Structure 1
Amino acid sequence: MERRIAHLTGIRRQQRQQLIQPLTAYFEIYDEADDDAVVEKRWRLWERPEQSGAVLLSSVFHFEGANDADEAGAIAAAQASIQQVIHYGLDTWNYHVLPAGATTFNFALRHPDAAVREPDDSVSLGLSNPPRASAAAAQAAIRETIEHLYTHYSAEGFHLVEHILLRPQRGPDTDPTAPEPYPGDALLARPSANPDTASEIDPYSYQVSLIFPSGYARDFSPAASNPEARSPVPPHRFRDRELRRHVERIVQQSCPAHLRPLIYWVDRHVSEQSLPFPEPIPETATDISFEQFEAIYFAWLNTQLLPGVAAEAAIAARNQMILAMNALSAAPPPL
């Protein structure tokens, strides 16, 4: 079912994996080596983690901050350029094969808007180096770069949760002499469509949830000054309302008739640094970021798939997963 939904919605990711990768996993921002005292940064995209393998793409220009010593500003400018590369680097028509010599070729990634490229139409977001021996080799390198960016930075995909796997398996301890009585497993709580009951009587049977990143980010930190402000982030396609309707229709058509699918579009967090993951979910949580959900989801999934997991660890992971699902149910619907 997951592969069918992915295929029919244009999601090229065919395996279950973490959708959100930190920029530093494959991108490196480094100092430009020159003789002046100005802080200047460049970036490059590596083939493998920890800055290893081949360099697939690198910045054409260096980036500076508001003044000569503004390192944070230079890094922010480089990060903004990387976000443009992630945005436009997923489409083959934004790449151009260029002659690098008499018999060699490389390729450039360009912004699709000609107005942005003015006054010099040759200005590129990124450039491949070293040159390839033929135009065909350069085209193959373009396909490799697109696949690399899509796999690690498109954020396109979803996570599926079978509710029956979250059913309670242990009640509260009844031994009054226990030093720390166990209060019992956390319970799924979904708002009920029946006005006579606050929550569904059975939120476990014949139900699955599909959690998609929304294509927006906002500040989930407790000290957020404007927690409702949203900014566009990958996956950029998922902000389109028509695409969302198509996805929801495909999910309905792809699910077996006995299953009720629930779909969530969840915002990402605005920063990779300001909110630690995974972070325990309190029982009163009414909102959760996609990154936090994803961390909890894979921690729980590992207890389901890996043999020999300690019972206490499995219980803790399941309880956190239930609280995360409850937070999704309690969160306001996306715009």
Structure 2
Amino acid sequence: IQNDFPETYGIGQTGLAARATIERKAQAKQLKSYLIFFDKILATYFKHLSKVSELLSINGRLTKTYFTQAIKDIEGFEDLVDAAYDTNNDEVLTELLLEQFDNNIERRNLILDHLLSRFAERFGDYTFLMKALYGSATDEIVLSNKEAFLSDYIAISSERGCGFNYFMQGEHVNPANDAENLWDTDNISGFQKRVSRLLGIKNYNRRTLSSSFVEVYSLINSDSETVFRWRIRDEEDNIILSATEEYKTVSLASDELYLSVLQIVQTTIKEIENAYEQGFVEDQNIGNLQLGISPTGKYSFSVINKGEPPTSTDHIIAKQYKYYDTAFEVKEAMIAIINFMKFKFTEEGIFLVEHILLRPFPEQDPMTPFMPICTDNCEDDCGIDPYSYRVSIVLPGYTYRFSNPDFRNYAETIIREELPAHILPKICWVGYREGTLENMKEQQLQQFEDQRAAGITDLDNQIMDVQNSSLPQAEKDALIAALEAQKVALNQSIDNQIADFLDSIVDQNNDLVDFENAYKDYLVAKTCLENEQPEEIEELLSAMAKLNTIYPVGRLLDCNDESDELEGRIILGQTNIGTL
């Protein structure tokens, strides 16, 4: 601005005449100082304008949202500003003047909200739900969800009513892979893509969901009890996080696993950077991570629960059992696991089966089996016509978000809103991780055997006490005979319980695993056919009929212990009484 003033003001490039008085020079300098404020505002505005394409970009590469530039070509400028004002480095100047105001995550969310509003899209309700689930990590996670949504917007808007291409795929596309473009593929319906992006599902590919990054496995502890541990693998199948405790049930192991993931995502990379700048000491806490140094000088880190005292065994809840030679290496490892948990780790996905594709063909011999059809006085929820305008939507019900009743309600609302109004969905939250059901069965059998062993040991001790007593021999013999009879009865009772249990689970399989296997086999067989159904449809229909929604476990409590807490309560339509 000041360089455009008439030269008589003496504030431009020409300046004042050499004969100007001290007072006149002071007046010019005062005016220049006053105008610098406006020059600085304009310089910042123009710098922002030059960055508009980056600010409105959805690639997520921008680390700053405030920009400025040095004011140049002003005569005597160095006499008007502080020595820290660097006219040769705009980035340093931006950090000096604006870094304290630049909350990159918050401002990027606002910018993406602006872009979303241009398409009449909203993430408000989703953000509130995520806040309850992920706490302080919500903003960054939701930001990545918005970026993914906008990146795929062409597909999820123009293709929202399109189905997937199941014809002439597989070996017709790749002779070496009969599931090419049918499994482990993004060849899915536009509806699935759109709903996945609205729900923040990181990977919407049709794939095997029951086999994921998580492994919950059983082992026998030193007390001969079946217990459970967990571990998480990365994309290269390397173990990057493991449990530090043993758990009595799969449910307890899963709860601790998700707590560990939550603690990691709530730790920021900025906290790690700041800790390294300030210098760190052994066993220093950085967010929810604890840095450790071994006696040999190796570095490692653990995940901690700050809600528990450091002396408690529940304080360290997970650990990466790997040691690093340098502090820099362990820093990179901590940053890598944070980024993995925030942006790649997932157990979620969505299957959609259009019932019309399963319709039988009367001319086919033998005729294809039908889906369940209602007859007179039918009490099952199968409908008069199970094919027309109906779909089945299958989601894993055991994941952190999908096991939350509020998130389920939100997801079901989104699904019904995004489906065409004339389509009726059957939404199933099903299954267990691969191997989990077998572990639970094994634990139940172990409990029966533990009960048997405890009972037999108690009776043997009683027999020994009788033998060592001063009772007459006849009484001893009678008591021992009675106790031996109790041992026989106990063994028989346990055997009956085991037999009843095995009978009750003889047809009980992991319905998600069965569905995945049957659906994959059906698609591989169906892709080669036109107006026929493959034999594999029978297995698929059977698997779909056995899909059973799983609910959070609740407990019936004494009425005198009533409180306002909903966690662990029996809620109609949202809770299971007991578990397998």
What SS does the aligned partner of 1:2 have? Answer: helix
Decide whether aligned partners of structure 1 residues 88 and 316 sit closer, same or farther in structure 2, where only a CA change above 3 A counts: farther
- Alignment partner of 2:542 out of 317, 323, 332: 323
Cα deviation, 1:182-224, whole Å, max 9, x if unaligned, reads: 3x211122558x979985343222222111233xxxxxxxxxx
User: Could you tell me how far apart the structure 2 residues matched to 1:85 and 1:39 are?
Assistant: 23
Select 1:56's aligned residue among 223, 232, 240: 240
Measured after TM superposition, the shift of residue 160 of structure 1 is 0.8
* One-letter amino acid matched to 1:324: A
Q: Counterparts of 1:145-294 in structure 2 under 5 Å?
A: 145-146=340-341, 150-151=345-346, 154=347, 156-170=348-362, 173=365, 182=366, 184-189=367-372, 191=374, 200-214=383-397, 234-268=398-432, 271-272=437-438, 289-294=511-516
TM-score, structure 2 normalization:
0.37
Q: Which residue of 2 aligns with 1:4?
A: 194
What is the root-mean-square deviation of aligned Cα atoms in Å?
4.9
Say whether 1:127 aligns with 2:323.
no
Higher strand share: 1
1:186–1:323 Cα contact (<8 Å) kept: no
Q: Secondary structure at the match of 1:316?
A: coil
CA 1:96–1:321 in structure 2 vs 1: closer, same or farther (change >3 Å)? same
In 2, the alpha carbon distance for the partners of 1:287 and 1:79 equals 16
Cα distance in 2 for residues equivalent to 1:190 and 1:109: 52
Q: 1:246: how far off?
A: 0.6
Number of the residue aligned with 1:66 = none
User: 2:302 aligns to what?
Assistant: 108
* Percent of paired sites with the same residue: 22
Q: Which whole-Å CA distance do the structure 2 matches of 1:58 and 1:268 have between them?
A: 20
Structure 1: gaps spanning 5 or more residues: 64-75, 174-181, 215-233, 276-284
Aligned equivalents of 1:60 and 1:287: distance in 2? Answer: 30
Query: For each residue in 1:94-147, what CA deviation from the matched residue of structure 2 results, as whole angstroms up to 9, or x when unmatched?
Result: 7515254899864322346427x6536752322352336256513432135526
* Structure 1 residue 296 displacement after superposition: 1.9
> What is the CA–CA distance in structure 2 between the aligned matches of 1:329 and 1:20, rounded to whole Å?
15
What's the offset of the Cα at 1:78?
Answer: 10
Matched, 1:13 2:203: yes
Select which of 123, 138, 157 maps to 2:333. Answer: 138
Counterpart of 2:259 (choices 80, 83, 88) is 88
More helix by share: 2
Q: Could you say which structure has the greater relative contact order, defined with CA pairs below 8 angstroms and 6 or more residues apart?
A: 1
**Partners of 1:100 and 1:299 in 2: how far apart?**
51
Structure 1 CA distance for aligned equivalents of residues 242 and 548 of structure 2 = 42
Distance change >3 Å, CA 108–CA 255, structure 1 → 2: same
Count of equivalent residues: 268
Q: How does 1:23-42 map to 2 (within 5 A)?
A: none
244-253 or 3-12: bigger deviation: 3-12
Kindly indicate whether the alpha-carbon contact (under 8 Å) linking 1:114 and 1:121 is maintained by their aligned counterparts in 2.
yes
Code of the aligned partner of 1:265: W
Secondary structure at 1:5's aligned position in 2?
helix
User: How far is 1:166 from its partner?
Assistant: 0.3
Find the structure with the greater CA-based Rg: 2
User: For the Cα contact (< 8 Å) 1:58–1:127, is it kept in 2?
Assistant: yes
Query: Quick one: which amino acid aligns to residue 133 of structure 1?
Result: F
Taking the aligned partners of 1:158 and 1:258, their CA distance within structure 2 comes to 21
CA distance in structure 1 between the aligned counterparts of 2:512 and 2:378, rounded to whole angstroms: 32
Cα distance, 1:27–1:145 mapped onto 2, change above 3 Å = farther
SS of 2:261's partner is coil
Aligned equivalents of 2:261, 2:393: Cα separation in 1? 24
2:392–2:426 Cα contact (<8 Å) kept: yes
The DSSP-based 3-state class of the residue aligned with 2:349 is coil
Cα distance, 1:273–1:27 mapped onto 2, change above 3 Å: closer
Partner of 1:67: none
Distance in 2 separating the partners of 1:114 and 1:122: 5
